[in-house]
Structure 1
Amino acid sequence: MADKVEVNGTVVANEYAELRPEVSGLLTFLDVPEGKSIPKGTVIARINSADLEAQVNRSKVQLELAETTESRLKKLLDINGVNQADYDLAINNVNILKADIAYTQALIQKTIVKAPFTGVIGLRKVSAGSFVTPTSVIATMQQLSQLRIDFTVPEVYQKYVAKGNNVQVLLDQNSSQVQSARIIALEPQVNQSTRNITVRAVLNSGSTSPGSFVKVYLSASDKSSILVPANSIIPEAKSKKVVVVKDGKAAFTNIETGARQADFVEITKGLNVGDSVVVSGVLFVRPDAPVKVRSVRNLRVVTK
């Protein structure tokens, strides 16, 4: 019998990012091709950086003068026309101006918003000319090349969700067609509130939108089992029993049960293949009393 566990899952994009500026300022350039795929590094937006560019130009002019001064002092130092301290001060001034230029250029880079990866860009949230801050979302980007499925399963089924195993995913609730997904990672810690473990799988085929609700089917077990009709089990305070016919007499046997179907119950301990179990007239049977078998039925139940 195959015991399948049905859990809820959510479709997750392979990569997801909210495009935000690193600095505050006026939006002077905006290019958001809504719903289209763009390559990594594409410029999405620019923030006004005129003041920073002017600062770079100013530092470059100062650097040119500082390098000229350093070159002159170097020639004088070679003929002992100036002391070493004056020359070291000129070298230090050149290095400071170079560092200032690099710092200002880094600030200019922060005014440019680029695509962090190749993916599909979403809807534009702002317009050119708007004043934006680091909390402003310009647009969102998602990579749809390898969709992932995130789902949770009870910790009792943790041994059945090993990395590399496949699960079945129902993408369309109106269709019975399922797709295969491969488990790529498991959350190492069980949630203490729900006692569930989070699992992530990669969809091998099929397509859908990130955030969609899906059904995930997990094969918890696949084994040969002994099933008996539910009405043949005698429940007691601390145990369960069935009546087995041995040598023409009734024998009450303690059993342990497993999975329960509509009309049948799995027996995990207490019965062997070939045993004859009393199905009807159970209430009239006494231990070690002779039993007259009126009819025998061979039951073969296949459940999936």
Structure 2
Amino acid sequence: MYLLPKKLHFFCFVTFSAIMVVACGDKKQEAASKDRQKSSGPAEVDVIIAASQSISNIVEANGTVVANEYVELRPEVTGRLIYLNVPEGKFVNKGTVIARINDADLQAQIAKSKVQLDLAEKTVDRYKQLLAVNGMNQSDYDVALNQMNGYKADIAYYQALIDKTVIKAPFSGIVGLRQVSPGAYVSSTNIIATIQQLDKIKIDFTIPENYNSIIKMGGTVRIKVDENEQSDLKATIIAIEPQVTAATRNLKVRTVLQNGKPNPGAFVKVFINASTEKKAIMVPTNCIIPDDKNKQLVLVKNGHANFVNVETGDREASNVEITKGVNPGDSVVVTGVLFARPKSPVHIRSVKKLDQSVATQ
């Protein structure tokens, strides 16, 4: 008599569960349908109207400050330092003795050669008198003369070696930090100190070879040493490397700074005026879609996204010149590029100006 209520309860539970499953399924299908309707709707984008505008073609390059003259002072011979005069960070005149290497053995060799030379000269004098009265043959005299000249050559050789033991300043300039100590055993691989001539500062920089036409001897470029400085320095072009670097296809240029004293080795920015102002279509750099072979922009035509291949030219801080693929009056998508699909409908949310689109990125 208790089976009927249990079966009834079980039947009610199963029926209720089935109703809940069907109801949940209907809600999920409704939500999915709404999502599909929402995703299938037009993508919202912001555009700018392409227009030709005046731009100043300023080429920016990286440069390095170079001293007018720079030398690493190294010994030419091997030996022990017996004298060291390195006034660190101070000015020295050309010819100032910076260091000396022990030359006692060379001095002894010269003294020995001088004694031998003295005897050889006396022998030549005696042979010359005998030769004049036919007291000896010519060959003996020639041997004595050759021996005397050999001693003279030995003295000149040892004197040249002694000269190499003295390290002098090759030009007037500022001496750098001392790299060795007195009494050290040095060779040609050791740097004693450096010396730089800072009365005329040079700036070396490289630019792509296609800008060769804008580099002229005697031309002026702007130099910025520090980004925080308000004023720029000026430099005059004095030399152009005739050969383009094969690895980078860049051209090396040397300029002389007209004012200012930046430290050699410092990094600077170089600005070259490539041409007068010209008209060009500019778009934000980050709205360009890079491809394996091409660069693309999204244009809005008749309410649909149209992907077009473009070619770029000069660049600015946030914008790039479009030389091919976009005409004045075209609507260029600047935001919402990732949501646009080829030939799919789009909704233009707003029309921005170029400076506004850059500011909002």
TM over 0.5: yes
Q: Secondary structure at the match of 2:275?
A: strand
CA RMSD of aligned residues (A): 3.1
User: For 1:20-169, what aligned pairs fall within 5 Å after superposition?
Assistant: 20-169=74-223
Q: Secondary structure at the match of 2:57?
A: strand
* Contact kept in structure 1, 2:312 and 2:320, CA below 8 Å: no
Q: 1:40 to 1:264 in 2, by over 3 A?
A: closer
Tell me the residue number matched to 2:346.
Answer: none
Shift of 1:227: 5.7
Shift of 1:228: 6.8
Query: In proportion to residue count, which structure has more helix?
Result: 2
* Contact kept in structure 1, 2:313 and 2:320, CA below 8 Å: no
- Aligned counterparts of 1:10 and 1:265: Cα–Cα separation in 2: 29
Q: Secondary structure at the match of 1:150?
A: strand
* Contact kept in structure 2, 1:153 and 1:197, CA below 8 Å: yes
For structure 2, the residue ranges without an aligned partner over 5 or more in a row are 1-54, 284-294, 300-310, 332-361
- Aligned counterparts of 1:264 and 1:37: Cα–Cα separation in 2: 49
Shift of 1:229: 8.5
- Aligned counterparts of 2:57 and 2:65: Cα–Cα separation in 1: 24
Shift of 1:259: 5.3
Shift of 1:257: 8.8
Letter in 2 for 1:213: F
Tell me the residue number matched to 1:284.
Answer: none
Shift of 1:226: 4.0
Q: Secondary structure at the match of 1:197?
A: strand
- The farther-off stretch of 72-81 and 46-55 is 72-81
Kindly indicate whether structure 1 or structure 2 has the higher relative contact order, using CA contacts under 8 Å at least 6 residues apart.
2
**1:5 equivalenced with 2:59 (yes/no):** yes
Shift of 1:86: 1.6
Shift of 1:189: 2.2
Percent identity, please.
53
Q: 1:10 to 1:44 in 2, by over 3 A?
A: same
- The farther-off stretch of 122-131 and 155-164 is 155-164
For structure 1, the residue ranges without an aligned partner over 5 or more in a row are 231-236, 242-255, 272-276, 281-304
User: For 1:264-303, what aligned pairs fall within 5 Å after superposition?
Assistant: none
1:142-175 Cα distance to aligned partner (Å, 9 max, x none): 1111111111111221111122211000122321
* Contact kept in structure 1, 2:176 and 2:194, CA below 8 Å: yes
- Aligned counterparts of 1:229 and 1:143: Cα–Cα separation in 2: 46
Q: 1:74 to 1:266 in 2, by over 3 A?
A: same
Tell me the residue number matched to 1:252.
Answer: none
Letter in 1 for 2:276: D
Q: 1:54 to 1:260 in 2, by over 3 A?
A: closer
Q: 1:7 to 1:119 in 2, by over 3 A?
A: same
* Contact kept in structure 2, 1:229 and 1:279, CA below 8 Å: no
Pick from 257, 264, 267: which aligns with 1:203?
A: 257
* Contact kept in structure 2, 1:73 and 1:87, CA below 8 Å: yes
Shift of 1:258: 6.2
**1:184 equivalenced with 2:238 (yes/no):** yes
Tell me the residue number matched to 1:245.
Answer: none
Q: How many residues align?
A: 256
- Aligned counterparts of 2:270 and 2:315: Cα–Cα separation in 1: 21
Shift of 1:14: 1.0
- Aligned counterparts of 1:85 and 1:265: Cα–Cα separation in 2: 89
- Aligned counterparts of 1:92 and 1:258: Cα–Cα separation in 2: 76
Letter in 2 for 1:191: T
- Aligned counterparts of 1:189 and 1:86: Cα–Cα separation in 2: 61
Q: Secondary structure at the match of 2:136?
A: coil
Q: 1:192 to 1:68 in 2, by over 3 A?
A: closer
Q: Secondary structure at the match of 2:253?
A: strand
Tell me the residue number matched to 2:52.
Answer: none
- Aligned counterparts of 1:74 and 1:114: Cα–Cα separation in 2: 44
* Contact kept in structure 1, 2:243 and 2:251, CA below 8 Å: yes
Letter in 2 for 1:183: I
Shift of 1:84: 1.4
1:204-260 Cα distance to aligned partner (Å, 9 max, x none): 11111100011101101114x346787xxxxxx99xx9xxxxxxxxxxxxxx99657
Tell me the residue number matched to 1:248.
Answer: none
Q: 1:171 to 1:17 in 2, by over 3 A?
A: same
Pick from 209, 215, 227: which aligns with 1:173?
A: 227
